[in-house]
Structure 1
Amino acid sequence: MKEKPFAITLDVGSSLANRTGAWRTERPEYVDRMPPCNQACPAGENIQQWLFHAESGDYESAWRQLMRDNPLPAVMGRVCYHPCETACNRVQVDNAVGINSIERFLGDEAIKRGWTIEAPSVSSGMGVPPAGGWGSVLVVGSGPAGLSAACHLRLLGHEVTIREAQEKPGGMMRYGIPRYRLPREVLDAEIARIEALGVTLEPGTKVDDVLAAQREDGFDAVFLAVGAGIGKRAYIPAGDSARILDAVSLLGSMEGEGPPLLGRRVAVYGGGNTAMDAARTARRLGATEAVVVYRRTRDRMPAHDIEVEEALEEGVRMKWLSTIKHADEGRLTIERMKLDESGFPQPTGEFEELQADSVVLALGQDSDLSLLRDVPELAVDHGMVQVAEGLMTGRQGIFAGGDMVPAERTVTVAVGHGKKAARHIDAYLRGTANEPGGKHAPATFDRLNTWYYSDAPATVRPRLELARRVSTFDEVVEGLDESTALFEARRCMSCGNCFECDNCYSVCPDNAITKLGPGRGFAIDLDYCKGCGLCAAECPSGAIEMVPEE
């Protein structure tokens, strides 16, 4: 019988002979999961990756990663309604990471520092050209979808021409979003960067017949990105002197020589974001009273909460459960409504008067589809162009996106459409098919080990003082500075993906984990890993999972 256990009779260093991995019934594996922010982004941004660069202070690398998916970061950092933040896992710890504010910081930093991107050339190795050479693509409309498509197509090596009906580019970003939300110098800077890639921009050039334009100028493909620039009208019985205009015309006129005369009391009929913009614009134009008349209750309002809150802060009044029955000079007849069991508003027969010098209709918008009247293969349903999965219409070589196709009408969705269309147009010109890669499993909150993340409430973006908000068109929401942007980026929990915190390396009782170097992650020596699962249990981001041994 031995006097000492075998293990302590081994010479120094000889424990390597005992390959304890043979005891294992399951083994750890490093995995990559889809962060909820990435999954929720309509523009398809790799948010977690550019946040990784930003939290290290490498802002230019973060911006370049961001630009791979979104060529308008300074714009999106102001007008995007950031569904990524709604989906952020950190909201269950304290507050969502301020992704949108960091995106704006990166966009502004790029403008300030003059960062640019370059279109590839044949000599720089951009790949094999399509049969017949690189394609020539016509983009109709210079809004977010059109600009995004043009940028991505140019980066893929194609010649791109944008034709815009208005005198200045930007589409509804210029003619539908007020300056206090999107300063024009920011919009102009990001458009100029896209134009500098070699995109041909032709403002003041309306396309009346898309087939004729394609045929006469020899374009190989067309991307239709006509925004929703026509305000919907509703029949309202009115006297001869009643002043009624639509919100799209009001907001668009702010880019002209002089603002319209609305009077001291303005009623805005509608409940969307455009209605909020119209009412807030009216206040800045001198209206002492701006009232939003809406048929339903606030919780059923299509406007985003932040838009409603900012409007209320600026003195805009809300008249819920109300509809306009008649308009006369200086006054409106309002009927009270009530919601039935299905939530639909029904008249009550109760009336009241509302003093108003003008009425602004904000009842939705349509796209001008007159350029498509001679395209029989193209299907239109309820004013929307019908497209396949790759955004191609019923006519070969003609694609469409943005406000004119069935989708949510936001700048972010339109930017995503532009990128998606560019990839499918590129594949069409090459005679191939664009096959998106598979997606990783989602990185859910229950997989995180949040004990390792310290409390760090979100940074609140400063806002312009109220007195200046209602008297000027100065930007209301201000940006982060470098220190607050860095702090905010470092709040990211890297959900579902390794960020090399060294926890697994530190806690492994078998020293079975090897560091491969910065940016290369770790390797597991399965000869010695017993499969205890401690690394997976202690991984903060849920980037290790235990799988049964084969």
Structure 2
Amino acid sequence: MAKPSDLTRPPDLTHERRTGPFRTQRPIYRDLLPPCNDTCPAGENIQAWLDAAQAGRFEEAWRILTRDNPMPAVHGRVCYHPCEDACNRRYLDQPVSIHAVERFLGDLALESGWTFEPAPPSGKRVLVIGAGPSGLSAAYHLARLGHEVEIHEAGPVAGGMMHFGIPAYRLPRDILEGEVARIAAMGVTMVFDHKVEDLLAEQEAGGFDAMFVAVGAHLSRRTEIPARDAGGILDAVSFLRGVDAGAPPQIGRRVAVYGGGNTAMDAARTAKRLGATEALIIYRRDREHMPAHDFEAQDALEEGVKIHWLRTIKAIDRTRFTVERMEIGPDGRPRATGEFETLEADSLILALGQESDTAFMRGIPGVEFQDDGTVLVSESMMTGYPGLFAGGDMVPAERTVTAAVGHGKKAARHIDAWLRGGVYERPAKNPLAGYEKLHVWYSTDAPQQAQAQLEAESRAESFEEVVKGLSETEARYESRRCLSCGNCYECDGCYGACPESAIVKLGRGKGYEVKDALCTGCAVCYEQCPCHAIEMIPEAETAQDKVTVLVR
């Protein structure tokens, strides 16, 4: 009698993912979420506008971008581009220079005079307090939704800290003013030199149906430093504001800046441009733990700014500063060493952070505050007072221009829903397209297109913009470096690879479809798709999952 092991088993025709008698899986086209889109604080559809830009459809790219962010020329200069930190291209060579392409589109829009489309009026009025990035963003999105918007701003011009806190060598004022003017042209009314003291009275007097408050953080934090006869002590915000207004304070030849954030770097670089022969930054932690971005410190060092790491000011006697050396302890925090040294400076600029002036909201019923004075808001950006929303630096969140613009957009959507008697529900996010999902079989030699800069030796001689923009050729090149993570860009790879001719092209911009009767489930289309726009699902899943991909 033959043993089972002696019998020749029939061939298994289904164990390999090739043509066989039974299909156990089949491909479907799905959109995933690119990491750049996921990390953008303003919620831009970055991959979509990069796709249009690489094809030279620049106005289309700009319009896709401005659905989420009305000021791309500003953001292309001042955003710290966390999208690039998440870009999957960094695993191949360098991330796509997203902010540089965004700046190109923003500048081109200003040069070309592109404007926003008007919306049918809703009959609702919204009051916005503060014409900074968050207030401008909210006003823009509310206007696009058809609401009448009026901004009340305590300062003489729009822009908030973009105007008074970011030096002109980083953000030229004509660029900021051009993008603000485009928002105003939508019918947004801006009332300047109008500080709000009684918010509810303002609402009643203007007949506003809802309010959004975004007053920013314009008050400098103070610190107690023993001083027998202190020289000139300024706060960084007032210093930068005075420079912007054309009335810079007297700072002397030697200037010290106390702090380690981006504002401290800006203050020191500005002091050099005002003629200071020596500008030094004093900061209690090391470079690795400073709040400023590393490239900000590098730019300052290149311009001749000196940085004294691990130092804290203990006393001031006229122009002499007694500082104590610090060291980083095992917990990663600075601690005193008991060692002291003396530094000389004619003036001291304090750059220890900013706070919001929210005192005018203290008496409003239902409004709650944190210990640091920031206003508590719900997920919808609404305070405890119905119809009163808040955002930007005055709420607990990251304090950047892009985060503030994201707050304005989010608040506008919730305000719109509230005015219409509903609730805004954000669409569910698609799964993230991490680098591990991609099938990048080869990569081209395509390093990042560097933006030209003024020579370091001459930068500190004027307030001329330091970083230059991309040309059209450079912008298209940089856009083409995008891997289109998680979304089909019609490369025809699946169409050409299918051994059964089961992939059907539906026409430009319409993607592909799988002919169910011809597909064997071999997964060749899936394995070659460089951006993971195809997934294999078990045959048992319902036919309703079969979809046609649409290129955005």
Alignment TM class, shorter chain as reference:
over 0.9
SS in structure 1 at match of 2:336: strand
Counterpart of 1:139 (choices 109, 128, 140) is 128
SS in structure 2 at match of 1:274: helix
Q: Is the 8 A contact 1:452 1:540 kept in 2?
A: no
**Matched residue, 1:28:** 27
Unaligned runs of 5+ in 1: 1-19, 123-128
Counterpart-to-counterpart distance in 1, 2:21 and 2:407: 52
Counterpart-to-counterpart distance in 2, 1:258 and 1:410: 26
Counterpart of 1:509 (choices 499, 505, 521) is 499
Counterpart-to-counterpart distance in 2, 1:90 and 1:515: 28
Q: Which moved more, 1:460-469 or 1:386-395?
A: 460-469
The answer as to 2:457 corresponding to 1:484 is no
The alpha carbon displacement at 1:22 in A equals 6.4
Normalising to structure 1: TM-score of the pair? 0.93
**Which amino acid in structure 2 is aligned with residue 319 of structure 1?**
H
Counterpart of 1:323 (choices 292, 296, 312) is 312
Counterpart-to-counterpart distance in 2, 1:91 and 1:45: 20
Counterpart-to-counterpart distance in 2, 1:549 and 1:22: 14
The alpha carbon displacement at 1:340 in A equals 2.2
Percent identical among aligned pairs is 58
**Which amino acid in structure 2 is aligned with residue 43 of structure 1?**
A
Counterpart-to-counterpart distance in 2, 1:264 and 1:118: 51
Counterpart-to-counterpart distance in 1, 2:365 and 2:270: 41
Q: Is the 8 A contact 1:211 1:374 kept in 2?
A: no
Counterpart of 1:245 (choices 217, 234, 239) is 234
Counterpart-to-counterpart distance in 1, 2:333 and 2:20: 65
Counterpart-to-counterpart distance in 2, 1:408 and 1:442: 23
**Matched residue, 1:171:** 160
The alpha carbon displacement at 1:115 in A equals 0.6
The answer as to 2:268 corresponding to 1:279 is yes
The alpha carbon displacement at 1:211 in A equals 1.2
**Matched residue, 2:203:** 214
The answer as to 2:296 corresponding to 1:307 is yes
Q: Which moved more, 1:462-471 or 1:538-547?
A: 462-471
Counterpart-to-counterpart distance in 1, 2:301 and 2:295: 10
Normalising to structure 2: TM-score of the pair? 0.93
Deviations 1:435-467 (A, max 9, x none): 011110000111212224422100000001223
Counterpart of 1:377 (choices 348, 352, 366) is 366
The alpha carbon displacement at 1:400 in A equals 0.4
The alpha carbon displacement at 1:255 in A equals 2.2
Counterpart-to-counterpart distance in 1, 2:516 and 2:158: 59
Counterpart-to-counterpart distance in 2, 1:342 and 1:246: 31
**Matched residue, 1:344:** 333
**Matched residue, 1:9:** none
Q: Is the 8 A contact 1:210 1:371 kept in 2?
A: yes
Counterpart of 1:467 (choices 457, 464, 468) is 457
**How is 1:256-271 mapped onto 2 (pairs within 5 angstroms)?**
256-271=245-260
**Matched residue, 2:141:** 152
Q: Which moved more, 1:374-383 or 1:228-237?
A: 374-383
Deviations 1:134-156 (A, max 9, x none): 21101000010000000000000
The answer as to 2:530 corresponding to 1:549 is no
**How is 1:341-420 mapped onto 2 (pairs within 5 angstroms)?**
341-381=330-370, 382-420=372-410
Counterpart-to-counterpart distance in 1, 2:58 and 2:534: 29
The answer as to 2:516 corresponding to 1:521 is no
**Matched residue, 1:180:** 169
Deviations 1:172-197 (A, max 9, x none): 00010000000000000000000000
SS in structure 1 at match of 2:171: coil
Instruction: Give the 3 Å change call, closer, same or farther, for CA 21–135 of structure 1 in structure 2.
Output: farther
Q: Is the 8 A contact 2:229 2:316 kept in 1?
A: no
Counterpart-to-counterpart distance in 1, 2:427 and 2:111: 36
Q: Is the 8 A contact 1:21 1:527 kept in 2?
A: no
The alpha carbon displacement at 1:306 in A equals 1.1
The alpha carbon displacement at 1:348 in A equals 1.6
Counterpart-to-counterpart distance in 2, 1:159 and 1:227: 22
**Which amino acid in structure 2 is aligned with residue 516 of structure 1?**
L
**Matched residue, 2:79:** 80
Counterpart-to-counterpart distance in 2, 1:443 and 1:115: 33
Counterpart-to-counterpart distance in 2, 1:113 and 1:22: 60
SS in structure 1 at match of 2:227: coil
**Matched residue, 2:485:** 495
The alpha carbon displacement at 1:344 in A equals 2.2
SS in structure 2 at match of 1:346: strand
**Matched residue, 1:456:** 446
Counterpart-to-counterpart distance in 1, 2:27 and 2:21: 14
The answer as to 2:315 corresponding to 1:297 is no
**Which amino acid in structure 1 is aligned with residue 425 of structure 2?**
E
SS in structure 2 at match of 1:235: coil
Deviations 1:258-311 (A, max 9, x none): 211111111110110011011111111111111110111110100001111101
Counterpart-to-counterpart distance in 1, 2:433 and 2:483: 11
Counterpart-to-counterpart distance in 1, 2:94 and 2:417: 41
SS in structure 1 at match of 2:244: coil
